[in-house]
Amino acid sequence: MTFFPTTSLVRAVLLAAGTTVLAVVTGRGELAVLAAPFVVWSVMGLLRRPRPGGPPHIEVSTRQVRSGEAVGVTATATGHVVDLSLPMSGAVDNSPVWGAACDADTVSVAVRPRRWGRLDLGAAEVSVTDPWGMWSTRDRHPLGTVDVSPAAAVPGRGDDIPHPIGLAGLHRSRRPGDGSSLADIRQYQPGDRLNQINWRVTARTGALHTNTTTADRDTDVLIMLDTLEDAVDPTTEASSLDATVVAAASLAEHYLRLGDRVAVHDLGSLVGPLPARAGARQHAALTARLAAVDTDGMVHGAFHRVAHLRPGTFAVVCSPLLDERVLTEIATVARRGATVLVVDTLPAALGSTDGWRARGGVWRNLLGSDAQSSLRAEAWVLRRLERDVAVAKLRDVGIPVAPWRGIDGVAALAASLAVQRPVVRTAGR
């Protein structure tokens, strides 16, 4: 780190030299008196030149955060005044707002990512100045990348699985069956197992009573993501891709907490597949996968069908339902024996006609008065009407479709499916 004279030191040297020369040439003593402070300041500045040293220490507080959390960027140069400036970007919110701060010895700027995925922080400009403001140096330091995981909407309520596959699982079901959790005590009926007889109640009442238990649940939860395209509402900046990823992360964390095996399948090529596993490792693997995604590298057109599917799997599809291939795959998964629930992630205001009705049918005012915005709005309205027809067909064949409003909404639909499908299929051993 080599220091160079600041503008103030250069100005002082030039004034001292010029005034001194002018005093000698003209022989006027008052000019020499006027030059004396600049001469003293210039001599002190030359004598106080800092020694060359190492660059200032730049530190990024963390490389992995959740969306909405802050990353601290700190610059340290002991004994000097540090000026830190970060590049402005629409993908982050800086604190201070302009992404620049100045202080003695140590200075920090907080960066808050707005979106999940891999974020490039760019290069920081660091200026180090001596306490007298006579010498300074400036350098650029690349900050690298930060992996931002989506902020999952967890916790939530509801542990129903519509169609459990077997009777051996990690936590109990609400239905009676072979298990270890006591559900009720009732009078003995022909066919009851003798080892389930409750002898204490039998001795007290004089009639045979048996214990009934709840079945331990065993199933796979398949979360299907539609990352084929990203529909963004220009008025609210709401993104279907963001909603899809947040919904998938929330659902995965919710069912992993309940002890189920969760698999992730990407119908596009952005996230990739994760095989069915349970536990904290699966949640960590999914979080790391989502945080490392480069949202700028979306491959449009690449479609991946579900290859392996266990009959009875509970499949939750997170999609804006804009691609015909996705609609076909939903129907195919249902025909292969899975219980399917669709989470609609298309922004609610995108293509909605509510604004038209409020304005008495003035179409051109939906998104603005210019022709381009009006045409775009009309195109989205037509696209949503076409999509509504496909959504109605899914509902007609028994596949529920609901907008993403958190875990509670999905849990309520899962509970209704569980009531509709009361028969539990036993998985083969």
29-81: pLDDT as tens digits: 778 888 788 888 888 878 878 777 777 889 999 888 888 788 999 999 888 88
> What pLDDT shows up at residue 215?
59
Among 141-145, 167-171, 192-196, 329-333, the least confident range:
167-171
> Domain map of the chain by residue range?
4-47, 57-149, 166-217, 219-420
423 has pLDDT over 60:
no
Is residue 234 a contact partner of residue 243, using CB atoms and an 8 Å limit? no
> What pLDDT shows up at residue 311?
81
Sheet containing 274-277: which strands, arranged edge to edge?
A: 274-277, 261-266, 220-225, 314-319, 339-344, 401-403
247 has pLDDT over 60:
yes
Confidence of residue 329 (pLDDT cuts 50, 70, 90): very high
With 0.75 as the threshold, say if the pTM is over it: no
CA distance 145 to 375: 39
Is residue 115 a contact partner of residue 138, using CB atoms and an 8 Å limit? no
Confidence of residue 305 (pLDDT cuts 50, 70, 90): very high
Q: Which of 340, 334, 266 is nearest to 305 (CA)?
A: 266
Q: How many CB atoms lie within 10 A of CB 394?
A: 19
Q: Which residue has the tokens 């499949």?
A: 315
Higher per-residue confidence, 424 vs 244: 244
- CATH class of the domain defined by 219-420: alpha beta
Q: Which two tokens stand for residue 21?
A: 């020369």
Among 56-60, 215-219, 271-275, the least confident range:
215-219
In the chain, what percentage of residues exceed pLDDT 90? Answer: 11
CATH superfamily of 57-149: Immunoglobulins (2.60.40.10)
> What pLDDT shows up at residue 72?
92
CA 423 to chain centre: 37
Q: Vertex 159, ends 153 and 165: CA angle to 5°? A: 125
275 has pLDDT over 60:
yes
CA distance 385 to 322: 11
CA 21 to chain centre: 67
